[in-house]
Structure 1
């Protein structure tokens, strides 16, 4: 029987503090809602394995260059997009725009149309599997803005979605 357990996380399951590369990490596998879940703890957050732990071990948090991440699939990117839309934070408007365009390119979203507003044109989007209706302001960015938002999106995905 094979199990798919994710690599070391970025945050302590108890304190929420970053797990520093090169530091000791205490890891456990527990069953939650019928799924195997890995929890990682810093030395400060470690108080022994939680009740019902199926596996317990200690490891060293890898340096970032050693950490290999699999690319997110289009469905995971769509969930990320939905979360960014729900948050509605103005400072993440560029991330929403770039992610929407990426999902259109990956054929996971389609542009249904657009509508004008006082603050600009809005792209009307829908998921290719019948998901929601979303609107994203067409920001008409410069190449430099797109590159900046791509870097921000990569950082966001690395910190929040891996």
Structure 2
């Protein structure tokens, strides 16, 4: 199993290595590194707009002011869109990431478990988006409860402004 961690912001623009200032907007991205794993990188707004980077997923954020409280900056629609975008991925890391996103969306009552089936020893959950007839299939990876907790905490940290 791929061991992955999406880190919090470094506070630096990946493209220029310039320190991002408090209050400055930046773009956080998930991109594939050389090993095919997801990696977070942050880019200043100026660098992002000038370079039109090809990334797996991105969101705009802002470096908080020193006395500012943390707050969630990825809304439920973005979480659901990210879950959907990962639907055709075969990379184990991305399957794990999608599963944890699904657990978060289920807890928020956005995704609903319908039933499951097994195919070639892999458990597949049939999911439905709440309030719609839209369905999706979700591979349930073999993760220990401790691993699920660690991955969930990692995603929660990413979903908070740093």
1:55-66 → structure 2 map (5 Å cutoff) = none
Confirm whether residue 146 of structure 1 aligns to residue 148 of structure 2: yes
1:137 maps to which of 122, 133, 139: 139
Q: Deviations over 1:58-101 (max 9, x none)?
A: xxx65788573335333232112112224453312111111112
Q: How many residues align?
A: 124
Confirm whether residue 40 of structure 1 aligns to residue 45 of structure 2: yes
Which structure is larger by alpha-carbon Rg, 1 or 2? 1
1:70 maps to which of 56, 69, 72: 72
Which 5+ residue runs of structure 1 have no aligned equivalent?
1-9, 28-38, 48-60
2:97 maps to which of 95, 98, 118: 95
| 1:26/1:146 CA distance change after superposition, 3 Å | closer
**TM-score, normalised by the number of residues in structure 1:** 0.54
* Number of the residue aligned with 2:34: none
**TM-score, normalised by the number of residues in structure 2:** 0.54
Return the structure number with greater relative CO, CA threshold 8 A, min gap 6.
2
Distance in 2 (CA, whole Å) between partners of 1:62 and 1:156 is 14
